[in-house]
């Protein structure tokens, strides 16, 4: 048992290192210059060099990766080039909303799953049993982000419950001001007002 646990932990180290390399390289190969969002349009080359040194972009890529990984392991994810805020604050804001959403989804899933299980067991081998089974399989099989988007559209069109802004083709299709989850990226969860 302990040998298996140690083997899994040792196997996880190169996996996590590989994920870290992939994440770092995806940011590096992204198109555009990250300094453009921080510099004024009429910035001099001296300011550009100063910012490159401040953010560590002047160092070789392997050294940048080691420095980034060391800081990340100590909880310092740096400052966001886009917003100027600490990245950990931005991540924690998103995690807070995700945890609320996950907790609510778990509670709803537990209640509906228990209800369907009770009904299917009580009306065994009937149409209601088969309908509850089909709905359960459908709920597990459908991608959650797609079902969530459809539910936002349904709430907006039928119940008029989702407040938000008007962005993107889904918002235009669903009606005036689809919920904030249907923004330009189509499935970013956020609280309804």
pTM for this structure?
Answer: 0.52
* Residue closest to 55 by CA, chosen among 26, 28, 30, 94: 28
User: Which stretches does DSSP call E strand in 35-148?
Assistant: none
Interatomic CA distance for residues 72 and 149, integer angstroms: 33
Instruction: Return d(Cα 74, Cα 55) in angstroms, integer.
Output: 18
Kindly indicate the confidence band of residue 16, based on its pLDDT and cuts at 50, 70 and 90: very high
pLDDT at 180 (0 to 100):
43
User: E strands along the chain, which residues?
Assistant: none
Which of 83-97, 128-142, 157-171 is predicted with the least confidence, judged by mean pLDDT?
157-171
Query: Residue 183: what pLDDT?
Result: 39
Distance CA 121, CA 116 (A): 8
Cα separations in angstroms, 104 against 100, 173, 181? 6, 27, 16
Are the C-beta atoms of residues 184 and 168 closer than 8 Å to each other?
yes
């Amino acid at each position: 048992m302990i040998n298996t646990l140690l083997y899994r932990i040792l196997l996880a180290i190169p996996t996590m290192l590989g994920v870290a390399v992939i994440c770092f390289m995806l940011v590096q190969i992204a198109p555009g210059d990250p300094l453009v969002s921080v510099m004024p349009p009429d910035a001099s080359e001296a300011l550009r060099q100063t910012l490159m040194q401040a953010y560590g972009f002047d160092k070789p890529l392997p050294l940048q990766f080691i420095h980034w990984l060391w800081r990340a392991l100590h909880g310092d994810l740096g400052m966001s080039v886009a917003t100027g805020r600490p990245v950990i604050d931005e991540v924690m804001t998103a995690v807070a909303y995700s945890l609320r959403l996950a907790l609510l989804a778990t509670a709803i899933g537990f209640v509906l799953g228990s209800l369907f299980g009770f009904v299917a067991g009580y009306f065994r081998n009937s149409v209601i049993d088969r309908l509850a089974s089909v709905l359960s399989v459908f709920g597990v099989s459908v991608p959650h982000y797609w079902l969530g988007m459809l539910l936002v559209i349904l709430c907006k069109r039928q119940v008029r419950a989702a407040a938000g802004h008007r962005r993107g083709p889904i918002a235009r299709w669903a009606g005036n001001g689809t919920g904030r989850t249907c923004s330009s990226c189509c499935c970013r969860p956020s609280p309804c007002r």
